[in-house]
Every structure is written in C-alpha cells, then in structure tokens.
Structure 1
C-alpha cells in the first residue's frame, strides 16, 4: 500500500506540471489588462508602462513563465495584485467556509442519493423507481443559482429562518456559523444527491442480478440483510468513485453557490480574481483545485481495498 501511494504521489508531478502550464497560458491569453484595472481608466500610458515593468509583465511570455515557475518550485505562489498578500495565505484564509460547505453538502447528498438509489433499484420499474428517477434528474438538471435563489426567497425572505447571505467564522460565531451554511449546503446536496442516486441505482441493479444475491435469498436471509450486507456493499465501488469526484468538485470551490450566498470561500475568491484579472490568484486557485482532485482520487483508490478485498495494490 505504501509503495502504491508513493507511486501515485510521484505521478502527481506531471499532472501538476501540466496544470501549471495551462494556468499560466490561460491567464495570459484571456482578455483584459490587470495593470489597467489596478490603476484605473485615467492612468497615463507612462504609469501603465512603469507598473508593467515593476511587475515584470513587459517581458516576453517565456521569460515571465520561467520567473513564475522558479517561484512555484520554491513554494511561492506569488502575491495578489489586489489583496496585497501572498496567494497561499489568500487561499488558506478562505478554506474554512469552503471545507465546511463541501462536507455539509456532500453529507446531504449522501443522505439523499444512496437511499434514493437503493429504493429505486429494489423497487425497479415501480412508481417508486420512477419517482426516484424524477428526483435525481431534477437534482442533476436544475441550475444551482436558480435553486439557491428559490431557497433564499422561501426560507430567508418569506419565513426568515436563515440569513439571506453572509458568513461568520467558527472562531467568532461557534455553532452559529452553520445557520449561514444550511441553504447553500442543501443546494449542493440536492444536486450531488441526484448524481449519487443515479449511480447507486445503476450499480445496485447490476448487483441484484448476480447469482450470489439469489443464493442469499434462497438461504432465507432477511431481505434487508441481503440488500445492506451483500448488495449495497458490492455496489459501492462505482458509487465511491462518483462520491470522490463529487467531493473533489466541492472542495475545489463551490463557485456559483458561494457567490450567490456571498460566502467568502475559495470559489468566491477565484471568481473575484477572474473578474479583476488577478493573475497570481487565478493561477494559484487552479493549482489548488488540481491538487484537491488528485489527492481525492488517491483516497478513493485506496478505499477500494476496504470495500473489495480482491483489490490489491502494488
């Protein structure tokens, strides 16, 4: 296992290298000039040229990339053009709301998706199956911004149960922090639950057709035991893959939902940086998201061995 983890970590290097190249190229070919946005519309050409020289943006692109890469290798993501702080500090200062929101949203998604998928598979071709499919399709198809706005309208504006927007850190509000996360977590959970439900249903239908399920039923085992102990456990590998991908998406930054609910997470940071053309933060956010995806994929791969003893790592 340790050898496998080491191999996967080594494989992380070329993935991050590709992401670094792409992030650098994307930020430099996107329209807009960060220097002009910093200085304003009334800045003279001399001021713009002086600022570009100070930041090194007047150099050829390859020279800029080499300077940026040399800093990245040393662990320096640079400094934000607008926040006036190191990019790593800017990202880490936004991790708390994103991580809390991701885990709450994924938990709600699991509570919705797995039971819904199991019921749909067990009651295949019944009205319960059709209803479960309808709910999952709605979760997959509905725009997150629209669902967010509807939840705000009903539970914040009409019922006054939750705040409309905002966030208070755990260090200041304690458990009161979670009142700001309920509606965005429900939004994410409903969407992720639809994806998980569809995969759970598909995997369960495949497992329920296997001979060992018929054998377990023929032995007189309780149906609930057959479903939970034999069917669901063996159907979990593809489901865990989807859960891992879903979790990586949420941890990488719930961009739209954070923006709608004005939650200062990594997603909101990335969007505001794109709007301002804050090159260092955009590049750092892309690298951070790539690292999250790769690390979550490693964790998912390792979890296969616990779900299926036949899986061996070398």
Structure 2
C-alpha cells in the first residue's frame, strides 16, 4: 500500500506540471494583448507599456514561463489588479465558504444517494427502484440555476423557512449559519444524490450477481450483512470515483449557486475578476482550481487502495 501511495503522489507532480503549462498557454492565447484587454481599446501606449512591464509581458515567452513556474513554487500567485491584495489573500477570505458548501453537498449526496441506490439494487424493478430512478432523473435534469431559483421562491420567499440572502456572516450563530447554508447545499446536494444513486445502483447490481454473493446467501448470511459487509465494499470503487469526479462539476455549479444565493466564495470571486478584467486574479484562481482537482483525484486514487488492496500498479 505504501508503494502504491508513493507512486500516486509522484504521478501527481508531472500532472500538475502539465496543468500549469496549459494554464500558462491558454491565458496567453486569449485574443489580443492582456494589457489591452484589461485597460480597454482607449488606453494610450504609455499606459499599455507600463502594465505590460508590471505583468512581465514585455519579457520573452520562455522568461515569462520560468518566472511563472518559479513564482508558483514559492507560493507567489501575484497580486489582484483591482484590490492590490495578493491572490492568496483574496482566496483565503472566501475559500472556507466554498469548502463548507462543497462538503455539505457531498454529505447530502452520500446520505441520500447511497441508501436509495442500495434499495433500488436490492429491490430491483420494485416501486422503490422506480421512485429512486425518478428522483435521480429529476436531479440530473434540472440545471443548478433553475433548481436554485425554484428553491428560493418556494422555501425562502413563499414559506419563509430560510433566509433569501444566503450570505454567511461571521457574526451569526451556528443555527443561523446552518439556515443560510441549507438551501445552497441542498441545491448542489440534489445533483450529487442523483449521481451517487445511479452509480450505486449500477455497481450493486453487478456485485449482487457474483458467485461469492450467491455462496454467502446459500450459507445463510443475513440480507443486511450480505449487502453491507460483502457487497457494498466491492462496489465502492465506482462510487468513490463519481464523488471525486463530481468535485470538478461542483466547482462549476458553485459559481451559479453562490451568485443565486448571494454567498461569498470562489464562484463570486471568479465573476468579480471577470467583470473587473483582473488578469492576475483569474490566472491565480485557475491555478488553485487545478491544484484542488489534482489533489482530489490523487486522494480518490489513494482511497481505491484502502477499499480494495488488490488495486495496485504492476
């Protein structure tokens, strides 16, 4: 297991290097000079030259690239052009809110998706199976911004159960923070539930037809122990995979969710950087997202080894 973990961690290094190189290239493939995009078409030549020098765009491409990689290695992602604060300071201010939302959505997805998927597989073609599949279909059919608006109208405006503005202020108590978190987390959790339910059902249907399951059933192993102890563990790998892959989808959906529910977070920070044409902040956010996705994928691979010791590289 130790060798497998080391190989996965070492593999993440070139993956991260490729991602950083792709970000460097993509940012510079944007039509027009970055300084012209930031300052606009009416900027004079002196202003453009000063901004290019400030961003290091007046250097040769290979010098820019080496400086880009070197700054990342020492943790310097630059300064926001609009606020003057470092990118890490900007991110640190809103990152806890996004992590809180993502964690809550994943918990909701696992709490509801796993039982629904297990019940649908064990009671195949029963009313439980049909209801679970309908719930999954609804969760996958509604875009995050549509379900978010509907939740606001019904539960916040008409019923008044939750606050309309989902901002998480530090002055509120735990109960108030949970109330403000509930609707955004449910909005993303519904999609997570649909993914987990479908994958769990598919994985368990395959596992329940294996010979060792029939042997355990013939030996008199109880239904609950048979499903939880024998079948579920062998069906966990695709479930872990979908949770890891959903993290990337969660980032995209969180942008709309944070805007709809007026929550601080990386989503609103991205939108603000786009509106302000904050080239440095956008590049820094892309790097942080890349690091987060690679980290989650690496943790997902490590979880494979914990769930199934047979998973290893030859």
Fold similarity call, TM over 0.5? yes
Partner of residue 125, structure 1: 125
TM-score by length of structure 2 reads 0.89
Does the CA contact (< 8 Å) of 2:108 and 2:186 recur in 1? Answer: yes
Distance in 1 of aligned mates of 2:252 and 2:299: 15
Q: What is the correspondence of 1:182-201 to structure 2 with a 5 Å cutoff?
A: 182-201=182-201
Distance in 1 of aligned mates of 2:312 and 2:46: 64
Cα distance, 1:267 vs structure 2:
2.3
Distance in 1 of aligned mates of 2:33 and 2:258: 26
Q: What is the correspondence of 1:63-78 to structure 2 with a 5 Å cutoff?
A: 63-78=63-78
Q: Say which SS state the counterpart of residue 258 (structure 2) adopts.
A: helix
Partner of residue 55, structure 1: 55
1:108-149 CA-to-partner distances (Å, cap 9, x unmatched) read 111221111111111212332222112112212210000000
Does the CA contact (< 8 Å) of 1:253 and 1:265 recur in 2? Answer: no
Does the CA contact (< 8 Å) of 1:256 and 1:267 recur in 2? Answer: yes
Show structure 2 runs of 5+ residues with no match.
Answer: none
Cα distance, 1:312 vs structure 2:
4.9
Does the CA contact (< 8 Å) of 1:252 and 1:293 recur in 2? Answer: no
With over 3 angstroms needed to count, the CA separation of the structure-2 counterparts of 1:164 and 1:46, relative to structure 1, is same
Partner of residue 89, structure 1: 89
RMSD: 2.5
Q: What is the correspondence of 1:1-314 to structure 2 with a 5 Å cutoff?
A: 1-31=1-31, 35=35, 43-169=43-169, 171-175=170-174, 176-247=176-247, 249-250=249-250, 254-312=254-312
The total of aligned residue pairs comes to: 313
With over 3 angstroms needed to count, the CA separation of the structure-2 counterparts of 1:54 and 1:211, relative to structure 1, is closer
With over 3 angstroms needed to count, the CA separation of the structure-2 counterparts of 1:6 and 1:129, relative to structure 1, is same
With over 3 angstroms needed to count, the CA separation of the structure-2 counterparts of 1:306 and 1:102, relative to structure 1, is same
Distance in 2 of aligned mates of 1:54 and 1:222: 69
Cα distance, 1:236 vs structure 2:
1.2
Cα distance, 1:188 vs structure 2:
0.6
Distance in 2 of aligned mates of 1:2 and 1:188: 35
Distance in 2 of aligned mates of 1:33 and 1:275: 17
1:191-247 CA-to-partner distances (Å, cap 9, x unmatched) read 011011110000000011112222222222322222222222221121111122224
Q: Say which SS state the counterpart of residue 199 (structure 1) adopts.
A: helix
Distance in 1 of aligned mates of 2:227 and 2:261: 39
Does the CA contact (< 8 Å) of 1:196 and 1:242 recur in 2? Answer: yes
Distance in 2 of aligned mates of 1:201 and 1:27: 41
Distance in 2 of aligned mates of 1:58 and 1:131: 61
Q: Say which SS state the counterpart of residue 83 (structure 2) adopts.
A: coil
Distance in 2 of aligned mates of 1:311 and 1:64: 41
Does the CA contact (< 8 Å) of 2:117 and 2:200 recur in 1? Answer: yes
Distance in 1 of aligned mates of 2:53 and 2:268: 30
Q: Say which SS state the counterpart of residue 172 (structure 2) adopts.
A: helix
1:35-65 CA-to-partner distances (Å, cap 9, x unmatched) read 5676578654443443333433344544433
TM-score by length of structure 1 reads 0.89
With over 3 angstroms needed to count, the CA separation of the structure-2 counterparts of 1:232 and 1:168, relative to structure 1, is same
